[in-house]
Structure 1
Amino acid sequence: MSNSNEDKEKGIVHYVVADLTSLDLSSPDDSIIASRFSRYGTLGPIMQKLFASGVEARGVERIPERERESKKVWNNLLFWWSANCALTTIPVGVLAQEFYTLTFPHAVAVILCFGALGAIFTSFIATLGPKTGLRTMVITRYSSGYVGGSIYSVLNILTQLGFSVTAVILGGQTLASINPGTLPLVAGVIIISICSVVPCFVGYNLVHFYERYAWVVIFIVMLFLWGLGGHAGFDISAQKANEDTGRNLSADVLSFGGIIFGTFTGWAPVAADFNCRLPADTSSVRVFTLTFLGVFIPTTFVEILGAALMTITDPAYVDAFANGSTGGLLSQVLSPWKGGGKFILVLLAMSIVANNIPGTYSAALSMQALGRPFTVVPRFFWVLLAFVVYTIAGVAGREHFSEILSNFLSILSYWTAFFVVIVAEEHFIFRRPNGPLGGYNLDDWDKPRRLPLGVAGIVAGCCGVAGAVVGMTEVWYTGPIGKAAGGLFGADLGFELAAGFAAVSYAPLRWLEIRLVGR
């Protein structure tokens, strides 16, 4: 009898120990994360009330399987549709004629081809969210180490804040153009900024709720713009006389293609942030496909609209663009509807909120991913800091929207290209089930001594930077390969060479790192 009881007790002890070891203690519950902030003196109770009212307490901490909330993978499609079916996307298509003298057919071809490539990059990163339960910048630690992940976090912070600056400037311009002289441009910038920060302050659930429905009205508005533009008279042959030929034309195509690629891959550094609460067994094919469709279809649809509006030859429309940039052109397109057109301009301006939300939310997460001292600061604090920074920058740069957009998007495509290549090689070569590392040890996400040293990732990233430098073509610098590639001003091959240099260097360096260090 005693032996039987002893066996039972041993069995109970064994069961309890097994149960405890199965717990993912490195990924605490939301309630445990919220309780950490109770030591903030008098601020502690205030933060506790915020978290209790629905403000997201979790930041970059891994989301364990037991806390995954939803199997609604279709939200991926709607989320990205709202983020990209926005006023912010129209000026990208405008750049085809404004800076690169491309005719409408050539602009469409570039948008479709380079857009598809960029959407593939972003969709791959999105598949890693459910697999790991980690935010994108934390995933980079598995290829580039703790230090390398922090470097990528800095790049992503600059990227998302840059996106936000262009977004709030365009929104402010549009609001100011509704009744010229009534609303100052500065006030318009601030209005868009405030509307963008509220969902990000609350967190993941409100962000997804807003993005799930925001696309509906704006998609209808985009159809209105197509119809009104067609009524004004699209003339796809009008720009033929201004288009470059020969090597100059190929240079224009490559340079504009780099901008298009950047608009699509600009979402790659944040793509896993918004589906990391999906169950780990969610089909990667479905995540990839729905993300691709949500990014590619609305973005190309709206960018092509921007290119089409530039084919209108009516002098009133040409003057409207010359005097008021994209906002002035849209105001002229909607002018036949008078008061109704002004209401639609308000809707267009507010569509920027859906475009600006992902960048604001993820910039805050990237600030936390800089390291443990940053992680302990509440996520919503970093959201507010991002809001302050891009609002001030938007007010300061409000008169130079086109220049900021063109230069920023070109540079953006460089680092996102080599970032995705490095993460992809780590995933498919070294972390595959039968590969050298056999997968991801997800408990190590915040343990520098168990993560890779990151030498391979950092050096490969530097090689990617070198590729961008020799291939880039900017107003302020042209690399030797970019200059030799063709055209009077050179052809921008920055993102292609950045990806190529990183791809060639990372695999052998990472193999050597694993052989020498074992991780």
Structure 2
Amino acid sequence: MSNSPDLSLEDKEKGSFGEHIPVQPRVLEVAPDDVIVNRFSFMGPFLSRLFAVGVEARGVERVPEDQRETKNTWNNLLMWWSVNTVLTTIPIGVLAQEIFTLTLPHAIAVIFCFGALGALMTAFIATLGPQTGLRTMIITRYSSGYVGCTIYSILNILTQLGFSTTCVILGGQTLASINPGTLPLVVGIIIVGIGSLIPCFIGYHMVHHYERFAWMIITIVMLFLWGLGAKAGFDINAQKSIEDTGKSLSSDILSFGGIVFGSFTGWSPVAADYNCRLPADTPPIKVFLLTFFGLFIPICFVEILGAALMTITKQDYVDAFADGGTGGLLGQVLSPWKGGGKFVLFLLAFSVIANNIPNTYSAGLSIQALGRPFAMIPRFFWTILCFVIYTVAGVAGREHFSAILSNFLSILSYWTAFFIVIVAEEHFIFRRKNGALGGYNLDDWDSPKRLPLGIAGVLAGMFGVAGAIVGMAQVWYIGPIGALAGTEFGADLGFELAAAFAAVTFPPLRWLEIRYTGR
């Protein structure tokens, strides 16, 4: 890629909340597909055909303003609605009773409160996409340098692969439960994995096209589940006799809250990936609100559904959950419709594809963000590799879905909390109009000598890890503060302390870094 900056375009554009961000100088860019074809000349004809039929060539490279062809900001709302109105969201609500024995009113309160906090933080990250034209992991280079970006990218790769693994397991379980004994679970997992791969292989526009419509049918399906569940009989006091009290109840609420928070902020490391092609002058408040409601409404709607289904006390439903987990329970809920219910279960099984698409697509981008050697390999190659990894992991862990989900989402909330805090403080303190740096030099996105060293960001992240360790409460480890806050099993304060430790340490460390390095 060759750059010829036009220095006459150095005016400032207003950023997300009043700060000013330098407009990227106009560049003459060699088309990404030409770069890849020339780099891998032995595969030139094959690659040219791929790009000609619409496969996305651009990876983590910045999208210049004159190539922001996407203008429909409402896609932001529809995409997140499709991504989260899926089968995969239901088990998160199920955990409220399965693991923490919370009554339905307490589960709803936790989902609303911790969900709102998580949606706010993720929606902020989404606003940075149109302003910078960069993918989320590349944006971290402006607060944590090349090294920090590499660390975050590794964490995000593990996050997206973890999400993908839970997706294919649950989708496979549901397919296998339609006609028990006819479709092996392993085959179901592979089918769901392949369905997720196809749009991601093609790229950004196909991802948005699929997600623009996927929500329609599955939203109706979720309404069916609400109706059938109500007919079977929701009992809001079903867990009343086994729910903890006092300090133990507080512990359950905090621990489940961490899982809910993680289900929202799990999208923060990829939130800017799906609107970096919007025009730079797109109103950030519009992006913020559409992302917030695109996350908050469907996730709450579906997680509360999962919690409500666990209040059905009829023995057939209890046995179905004990034998087949969430997929078995849903099969029982739909059983009154006989063949029609099996068709709905089929739709539910394939709804996880909408959830798994951004996991797969962004995992490939995060591999490219590890550094230039990885960025040189076409994005779609890494997408295929991710598909292979999480499908194999899903097959290996198919019998331990609930344990994988609860532990994974809790740990996920720890690093996303301090990641968001560090990016936000860089944005609002140091990159604001009158801040120490006065904006983003967007030409520097891949220039290690011009980006921050990353000392402040990495150290603040390490303090965030320390906060998570002392505050966490997992089956395999309970931190000292987490132990004090709870009873026998502790209370999970991991994400709260991770965010607090990073928030306190990053500003002074970053100020020192700027003072002595100038960047």
TM-score, with structure 2 as normaliser: 0.95
Match of 1:280 in 2: 280
Matching of residue 136 in structure 1 with residue 149 in structure 2: no
Q: How many equivalent residue pairs?
A: 503
Match of 1:500 in 2: 500
Determine the C-alpha separation between the residues in 1 that align with 2:7 and 2:419: 37
Within-5 A mapping of 1:440-479: 440-479=440-479
CA deviations on 1:320-374 (whole Å, 9 max, x unpaired) are 0000000000000000000000000010011000000001000000000000000
Match of 2:245 in 1: 245
Match of 1:314 in 2: 314
Determine the C-alpha separation between the residues in 1 that align with 2:427 and 2:173: 43
CA deviations on 1:17-44 (whole Å, 9 max, x unpaired) are 9958769789664734433332324312
Unaligned runs of 5+ in 2: 11-23
Match of 2:88 in 1: 88
CA deviations on 1:29-78 (whole Å, 9 max, x unpaired) are 47344333323243122111111110000000000000001221111100
Which amino acid is the alignment partner of residue 243 of structure 2? E
Determine the C-alpha separation between the residues in 2 that align with 1:64 and 1:351: 34
Q: Give 3-state SS (helix, strand or coil) of 1:474's partner.
A: coil
Alpha-carbon distance change, 32 to 22 in structure 1, aligned in 2, over 3 angstroms: farther
Q: Give 3-state SS (helix, strand or coil) of 1:91's partner.
A: helix
Within-5 A mapping of 1:89-488: 89-488=89-488
Overall identity of the aligned pairs, in %: 72
CA deviations on 1:241-262 (whole Å, 9 max, x unpaired) are 0100000000000000000000
Which amino acid is the alignment partner of residue 165 of structure 2? V
CA deviations on 1:420-453 (whole Å, 9 max, x unpaired) are 0000000000000111100000000000000000
Which amino acid is the alignment partner of residue 239 of structure 2? Q
Q: Give 3-state SS (helix, strand or coil) of 2:446's partner.
A: coil
The answer as to whether partners of 1:123 and 1:288 remain within 8 angstroms in 2 is yes
Determine the C-alpha separation between the residues in 1 that align with 2:97 and 2:29: 52
The answer as to whether partners of 1:473 and 1:491 remain within 8 angstroms in 2 is yes
Matching of residue 55 in structure 1 with residue 55 in structure 2: yes
The answer as to whether partners of 1:34 and 1:51 remain within 8 angstroms in 2 is no
Q: Give 3-state SS (helix, strand or coil) of 1:498's partner.
A: helix
Determine the C-alpha separation between the residues in 1 that align with 2:462 and 2:34: 38
Match of 2:17 in 1: none
Q: Give 3-state SS (helix, strand or coil) of 1:334's partner.
A: helix
Matching of residue 46 in structure 1 with residue 59 in structure 2: no
Match of 1:514 in 2: 514
Determine the C-alpha separation between the residues in 2 that align with 1:156 and 1:170: 21
Which stretches of structure 1, 4 residues or more, deviate above 2 A after TM superposition? 17-39
Which amino acid is the alignment partner of residue 311 of structure 1? T
The structural deviation recorded for 1:109 is 0.2
Q: Give 3-state SS (helix, strand or coil) of 2:93's partner.
A: helix
The answer as to whether partners of 2:32 and 2:57 remain within 8 angstroms in 1 is no
Alpha-carbon distance change, 83 to 28 in structure 1, aligned in 2, over 3 angstroms: farther
Determine the C-alpha separation between the residues in 2 that align with 1:408 and 1:32: 36
The structural deviation recorded for 1:173 is 0.1
Determine the C-alpha separation between the residues in 1 that align with 2:295 and 2:237: 29
The answer as to whether partners of 2:63 and 2:133 remain within 8 angstroms in 1 is yes
Match of 1:12 in 2: none
Alpha-carbon distance change, 464 to 267 in structure 1, aligned in 2, over 3 angstroms: same
Which amino acid is the alignment partner of residue 176 of structure 1? A
Determine the C-alpha separation between the residues in 1 that align with 2:25 and 2:432: 25
Determine the C-alpha separation between the residues in 2 that align with 1:27 and 1:104: 56
The answer as to whether partners of 1:90 and 1:303 remain within 8 angstroms in 2 is yes
CA deviations on 1:94-115 (whole Å, 9 max, x unpaired) are 0000000000000000000000
RMSD (CA atoms): 1.4
Determine the C-alpha separation between the residues in 1 that align with 2:148 and 2:230: 49
Determine the C-alpha separation between the residues in 1 that align with 2:28 and 2:88: 38
The answer as to whether partners of 1:38 and 1:45 remain within 8 angstroms in 2 is no
Determine the C-alpha separation between the residues in 1 that align with 2:75 and 2:195: 22
Q: Give 3-state SS (helix, strand or coil) of 1:492's partner.
A: coil
Unaligned runs of 5+ in 1: 1-16
Determine the C-alpha separation between the residues in 1 that align with 2:229 and 2:352: 21
Which amino acid is the alignment partner of residue 105 of structure 1? P
The structural deviation recorded for 1:488 is 1.9
CA deviations on 1:265-320 (whole Å, 9 max, x unpaired) are 00000000000000111001000000000000000000000000000000000000
Larger Rg: 1
CA deviations on 1:188-216 (whole Å, 9 max, x unpaired) are 00000000000000000000000000000
The answer as to whether partners of 2:32 and 2:58 remain within 8 angstroms in 1 is no
Q: Give 3-state SS (helix, strand or coil) of 1:240's partner.
A: coil
Determine the C-alpha separation between the residues in 2 that align with 1:148 and 1:288: 25
The answer as to whether partners of 1:30 and 1:57 remain within 8 angstroms in 2 is no
Which amino acid is the alignment partner of residue 324 of structure 1? G
The structural deviation recorded for 1:184 is 0.2
Which amino acid is the alignment partner of residue 496 of structure 1? E
Match of 1:8 in 2: none
Q: Give 3-state SS (helix, strand or coil) of 1:452's partner.
A: coil
Determine the C-alpha separation between the residues in 2 that align with 1:28 and 1:102: 58
Match of 1:7 in 2: none
Q: Give 3-state SS (helix, strand or coil) of 1:239's partner.
A: coil
Determine the C-alpha separation between the residues in 2 that align with 1:32 and 1:266: 29
Q: Give 3-state SS (helix, strand or coil) of 2:31's partner.
A: helix
The answer as to whether partners of 1:38 and 1:48 remain within 8 angstroms in 2 is no
The answer as to whether partners of 2:5 and 2:27 remain within 8 angstroms in 1 is no
